[in-house]
Amino acid sequence: MVNEVDIPTFAAFRADGATVVDVREPDEYLTGHVPGARLIPLGELTRRAAEVPRHRRVYVICATGNRSLQAARWSASAGYDAVSVAGGTKAWADSGQPLVVGEREDAA
């Protein structure tokens, strides 16, 4: 069973420096994402798994929570401590939380 957290719980962990992985597509990410979220689209997750830390919990987010559940399930089966954010970026924005628009947090 994959864990899922609500927006207030996620916001508290994020404020404490939690690792956040956004599994949406790049165009979705650029329209608005959680500050500090690293973009790894769902279709690239298995290939880019080494970019996800194994030593700490990872919060996975997408648009509404469906892709993040898939990503968290796969991540958990691969030995990661992954949690899906219920409601995704839409719920995050709807709750009045900040969004970053138009830039890649993980760009070098």
> Is there a domain that residue 103 lies in?
no
pLDDT at position 92:
98
> Is there a domain that residue 31 lies in?
yes
> Is there a domain that residue 105 lies in?
no
Q: Is the pLDDT of residue 101 over 80?
A: yes
- The structure's pTM equals 0.92
Residue 54: give its domain's CATH number: 3.40.250.10
CB 46 within 8 A of CB 62: no
Which residues participate in catalysis according to the annotation?
A: 62
> Is there a domain that residue 46 lies in?
yes
Domain count, the chain: 1
The model's confidence at residue 102, banded by pLDDT at 50, 70 and 90, is confident
Q: Is the pLDDT of residue 108 over 50?
A: no
**13-72: pLDDT as tens digits:** 999 999 999 999 999 999 999 999 999 999 999 999 999 999 999 999 999 999 999 999
Residue corresponding to tokens 């194994």: 54
pLDDT at position 46:
95
Sheet hosting strand 38-39, strand order edge to edge = 3-5, 82-85, 58-61, 19-22, 38-39
Q: Is the pLDDT of residue 80 over 90?
A: yes
> Is there a domain that residue 51 lies in?
yes
CB count in 10 Å sphere of residue 98: 10
| Full residue range of the structural domain in which residue 51 is found | 3-94
CA angle 50, 59, 90 (to 5 degrees): 125
